[in-house]
Amino acid sequence: MGSSPFFFRDDKMLNRGLDKLELLRIVEAVANEKSIDKELVIGSMESAIQKAALTKFGSDNNIEVIIDRESGEIKIQKVLNIVEIVEDSAREITLTEAIKIDPLNKDLKVGEKVFEELPQIDFGRIAAQSAKQVISTRVREAEKNRQYEDFIDKQSQILSGIIKRLEYGNVIVDLGKAEGVIKKDELIPREILKTGDRVKAYCYEVKKELKGHQIFLSRAHPQFLAKLFFQEVPEIYEGTIEIKSVARDPGSRAKICVHSQDSSIDPVGACVGMRGSRVQTIVNELHGEKIDIIKWTEDLPTLISESLSPAEIQRVLIDQENKRIDIILTEENLSKAIGRRGQNVRLASKLTNFEIDILTDKEDSERRQTEFKERTETLIKNLEVDETLGQLLVSEGFVSIDEISQSNPEDISKIEAIDVETAKELISRSKETLVKEKEAVSLKLKELGVEDRLINLKGITQGMLVILGQKNIKKLSDFADLSSDELIGGFDEIKGKKIRVDGYLEEFSLSRKEADELIMAAREIAYK
């Protein structure tokens, strides 16, 4: 913040009783220097003088200080409440005594206030220092609040500044009226920045703290790339072209999905620019980061195929509920789709917000055969049917016991060689199997000691409960204390490296939203 700009470079002014005109000049100077409201500076001075007055006249008193905004005159007055019987002489007075102070008080009533003017203070060294501290603190707080208000509106924008210093791998940037910080992991890898360099960065957070605000900047954030396109492409700035999504591997490769509101404008061509001039400017800012610009479409298979370019896709299988996509392609296209160290498929996954699994046509065939065999064996075992009937049911889409139990005989009897009576028997056997399974799971949960409150939690299945019980999560409060990462898996940082951590319920393919909802429901009950 620098040295104190106030009227106390020394205490002489306070000691000579605060010259009225000089006080107003100082107020003006401080307000201008720190870009804060003049009223706030005066208010801090009033508080400082009030503190000194309480020290002189007694802290039990209710003392009010008013500085005239026009003349600079300082009025120090004691505030007394009019009461019938005085219990606190420092703060209360009878109406009779109030009239003795000023005859004009005769029109006042019990409950109203009387103001008794006090003499001006001759500040001593200690009082002056105390006042100085009060004003300094108030003005610093005001300056911090002003800076916060200035920069909170600049959140989600690109800011430009001069690198002031480097601290433990972090970069401190002078933004003019404040400092911003680019953390080590928000820098572009292998980027060399030096003190005195001008740098651009995306402001992703402005945090207000007790010690002052903090402005967090990033050059690795996906929105940094989006905002650079916003600056370089007029059609994006004007709203004709919309950026749908962005994915980055900072310093290496990025993918950006764009859509044109005007069918006559090619969004990819507009972003590339004449002879690549627009995109090249952005590439230079990102120190050579390669950028794939993809035309957005509502047709998800097409969008996925474009995102995985240059690989040629044979088939796309979409699971909307679990946000998963299976990509089927030939062996020779496998490496293209995956990319160097999995980069291409990873960026495509971020871009589309779907988890992508890539399989060769051979692997897909083997997987389908394995699934067919496993499902057939399950039906044979639980329904006590022969292999031929089991295969027939699976091939017609009846892949689970639960699905058969919920079907009606007419649907099953449509299958050749299965009559209505056989269909009814299959449904009956499937229901009996499910009842037995439920009883077995209930017994298992009892053996594990899983409490009823957790068992009855809405949205949690018996399969999940068994896994949790085996992991020693047996009470509702135990479950409520978990994080979503502990349920579905996530990453932990160990010695500066991100390590994949498996989730307890990862095999159930819960989304983060579903995991959060389960945990919040548990907390609502457990901590009621």
Residue 234 falls within a domain, yes or no? no
Closest C-alpha to 258, from 266, 270, 249, 267: 267
Domain region containing 454:
449-528
Whether residue 34 is found in the same domain as residue 107: yes
Residue 457 falls within a domain, yes or no? yes
Bridge partner residues of 209 (DSSP): 212
* Structure confidence by residue, pLDDT tens digits, 90-135: 888 888 888 887 787 787 888 888 888 888 766 555 445 555 566 6
Q: Please provide residue 355's backbone torsions phi and psi, each rounded to the nearest 5 degrees.
A: -80, 125
Mean pLDDT of the chain: 84
b/e string for 183-222 if b means 16 or more Cβ within 10 A? eeebbbeeeeeeeeeebbbbbbebeeeeebbbbbbbbbbb
Cβ atoms of 231 and 237 within 8 Å: the answer is yes
Last residue of a domain, one of 188, 218, 248: 218
For the domain that residue 492 is a member of, what is the CATH number?
1.10.150.20
Closest C-alpha to 121, from 217, 215, 257, 11: 11
Residue 424 falls within a domain, yes or no? no
Q: Who contacts 197 (Cβ-Cβ below 8 Å, separation ≥6)?
A: 162, 163
pLDDT bucket at 11, cuts 50 / 70 / 90: very low
pLDDT attached to residue 115 = 83
Q: Whole-angstrom Cα distance, residue 256 to residue 238?
A: 18
pLDDT attached to residue 80 = 85
Last residue of a domain, one of 218, 239, 256: 218
pLDDT attached to residue 70 = 76
Q: What is the mean pLDDT of residues 129-146?
A: 65
Q: What is the mean pLDDT of residues 26-43?
A: 69
Q: In terms of pLDDT, which residue wins out, 409 or 101?
A: 409
Res 15 pLDDT > 50: no
pLDDT bucket at 7, cuts 50 / 70 / 90: very low
Amino acid identity of residue 417, one-letter, is A
* Structure confidence by residue, pLDDT tens digits, 452-482: 999 899 988 888 999 999 999 999 999 999 9
Whether residue 90 is found in the same domain as residue 119: yes
Considering the entire predicted model, what is its pTM? Answer: 0.58
Lowest mean pLDDT among 76-85, 381-390, 490-499: 490-499
Whether residue 18 is found in the same domain as residue 133: yes
pLDDT attached to residue 8 = 43
Residue 225 falls within a domain, yes or no? no
**What domain count does the chain have?**
3
For the domain that residue 101 is a member of, what is the CATH number?
3.30.1480.10
Last residue of a domain, one of 218, 240, 255: 218
Lowest mean pLDDT among 31-35, 403-407, 462-466: 31-35
Q: In terms of pLDDT, which residue wins out, 440 or 210?
A: 440
Q: Whole-angstrom Cα distance, residue 423 to residue 411?
A: 9
Whether residue 25 is found in the same domain as residue 142: yes
Residue 210 falls within a domain, yes or no? yes
Look at the block and give the residue holding tokens 């998963």: 324
Closest C-alpha to 31, from 20, 23, 43, 39: 39
Whether residue 462 is found in the same domain as residue 495: yes
- Nearest 5°: the CA angle 318, 333, 367 is 50
Residue 482 falls within a domain, yes or no? yes
pLDDT attached to residue 5 = 42
Give the pair of three-digit tokens for residue 524.
Answer: 């609502």
Whether residue 190 is found in the same domain as residue 140: no
